[in-house]
Amino acid sequence: MTVVGPFGLSVQDRDLTRDVQVGLDAVERALTETVKSEVPFITVTASHLIQAGGKRFRPLLVMLAAQFGDPNAPGVVPSAVVVELTHLATLYHDDVMDEAPVRRGAPSANSRWDNSVAILTGDFLFSRASQVLSELGPEAVRLQADAFERLVTGQILETAGPGPDDDPLQHYLDVLAGKTGSLIAVSCHFGALMAGAEERTVGILTQYGEKIGIAFQLADDVLDIASDGDESGKTPGTDLREGVPTLPILLLQQTPVDPEDPSDVRLRELLTLDLAGNDELHAEALRLLRRHPALERARRETLRYAEEARALLEPLPDCPAKDALQGLCDTVAIRTM
């Protein structure tokens, strides 16, 4: 058994392990070359997040999906570069919008330089992704354009927030489907399409990608509350401190307050306060939320998405790549424990 890629994905087949690792190594080299510019400063800023590392989850899914066709087909690695460059570009922009000081354990581009440099570097990465994409043909361009539109729409929906007649939980899930699910879905789509997989297989893997992408994001919501920080890689309760309504909070808000439960009453009171500047109140809210039934409901909802992703794979032929994709569903379950 060999660990490959992000999240400690265990791959038991040696040939698959080799193929995936070779592909990921090729993607890493291509990323480094693709962001080089004639202007040295641009090379430095564009390489910033690449050198900081990352899970490379999207390229991994491209490589696994390509196993259902010819994984050595010439478009596989370039398509993985496209989705990773797109993802990285959005991170530069996200850090500006979130005023984030750190990304992947290093100073964010906006804090190391300034917001203008970060935004323009993100734009530069989008342009380089488009150059690579143009070599993959009009169908690939259309797919990426559709995914990018969904990604930006999700970001706008998140920024605007739910309307007065919207269900906040459904709005949040729509945001995740756009911001996260769209690019992960197109990663699977590209891998299978570029490898020449059957049309039905391409469709199945695309649907799987969207479901597993949302499942991982929901698992992050649970980890933000339940983890001690070692597994999530960030300070526990970060979203709670910043007042970001993620899945556990939204499920809590859907549940009527229990006036006979002092803990429930107190938690609702704390959630109306500004927790950003008060460590004591934040710690109390985090402690109460960890014991609240809403957190267990959030776990079950996350597992439901993971199981739906697993069920989508059922029609595919049994093979090591299918086992690996099913293993990602198991990883979601482990992360939410």
Does 54 fall in a domain? Answer: yes
pLDDT at 333: 81
End position of a domain, from candidates 176, 197, 218: 197
150 and 50 inside one domain: yes
45 and 169 inside one domain: yes
pLDDT at 101: 61
What does DSSP say about strands 9-11 and 106-107: parallel, antiparallel, or unpaired? Answer: unpaired
Count of the separate structural domains present in the chain? 2
Q: 91-100, 117-126, 302-311: which range is least confident on average?
A: 91-100
Question: What is the distance between the alpha carbons of residues 169 and 85, in angstroms, rounded to a whole number?
Answer: 30
- Which CA distances in Å does 98 have to 55, 91, 223, 304? 21, 10, 20, 30
150 and 277 inside one domain: no
19 and 164 inside one domain: yes
170 and 76 inside one domain: yes
Question: What's the mean pLDDT in 263-280?
Answer: 91
**For residue 333, what are its two tokens?**
């379950």
- Please tell me what DSSP assigns to residue 10: E
Question: What's the mean pLDDT in 130-158?
Answer: 95
pLDDT at 45: 82
Which percentage of the chain shows pLDDT scores above 70?
88
The residue with greater pLDDT, 228 or 86, is 86
95 and 220 inside one domain: no
Residue 161 pLDDT greater than 70, yes or no = yes
Question: What's the mean pLDDT in 302-312?
Answer: 96
pLDDT at 7: 47
Does 331 fall in a domain? Answer: yes
In 3D space, the residue among 20, 8, 32, 42 whose CA is nearest the CA of residue 85 turns out to be 32
End position of a domain, from candidates 165, 197, 229: 197
53 and 172 inside one domain: yes
**Is the CB of residue 271 less than 8 Å from the CB of residue 249?**
yes
DSSP result, 137-176: -HHHHHHHHHHHHHHHHHHHHHHH---TTS-HHHHHHHHH
| Domain encompassing residue 124 | 13-197
Residue 87 pLDDT greater than 80, yes or no = yes
Packing angle of the helix pair 320-335, 14-34 (nearest 10 deg): 80
- 32-72, pLDDT tens digit by residue? 999 898 988 888 887 877 777 778 999 999 999 999 999 99
Does 7 fall in a domain? Answer: no
191 and 213 inside one domain: no
**Half-sphere exposure of 68 toward its Cβ, with a 13 Å CA cutoff?**
31
Query: Which CATH number is 121's domain given?
Result: 1.10.600.10
189 and 234 inside one domain: no
Question: What's the mean pLDDT in 126-150?
Answer: 95
- From first CA to last CA, the distance across the chain in angstroms is 23
Does 83 fall in a domain? Answer: yes
Q: 74-88, 112-126, 223-237: which range is least confident on average?
A: 223-237
pLDDT at 205: 98
Average pLDDT, the chain: 88
Does 4 fall in a domain? Answer: no
End position of a domain, from candidates 197, 219, 237: 197
Residue 100 pLDDT greater than 80, yes or no = no
Question: What's the mean pLDDT in 293-307?
Answer: 95
- Which CA distances in Å does 202 have to 46, 126, 163, 193, 194? 32, 25, 35, 6, 10
329 and 310 inside one domain: yes
pLDDT at 149: 95
How many CB atoms within 10 Å of residue 18? 13
Does 288 fall in a domain? Answer: yes
pLDDT band at residue 178 using 50, 70 and 90 as cut-offs: very high
152 and 233 inside one domain: no
pLDDT band at residue 237 using 50, 70 and 90 as cut-offs: confident
39 and 116 inside one domain: yes
DSSP result, 38-106: SSHHHHHHHHHHHHT----HHHHHHHHHHTTS-TT-TTHHHHHHHHHHHHHHHHHHHHHHHT-SEETTE
Does 311 fall in a domain? Answer: yes
Which residue reads 């939410």 in tokens? Answer: 336
SS3 233: coil
Question: What is the distance between the alpha carbons of residues 254 and 311, in angstroms, rounded to a whole number?
Answer: 28
Does 18 fall in a domain? Answer: yes
- By residue count, the chain amounts to 337
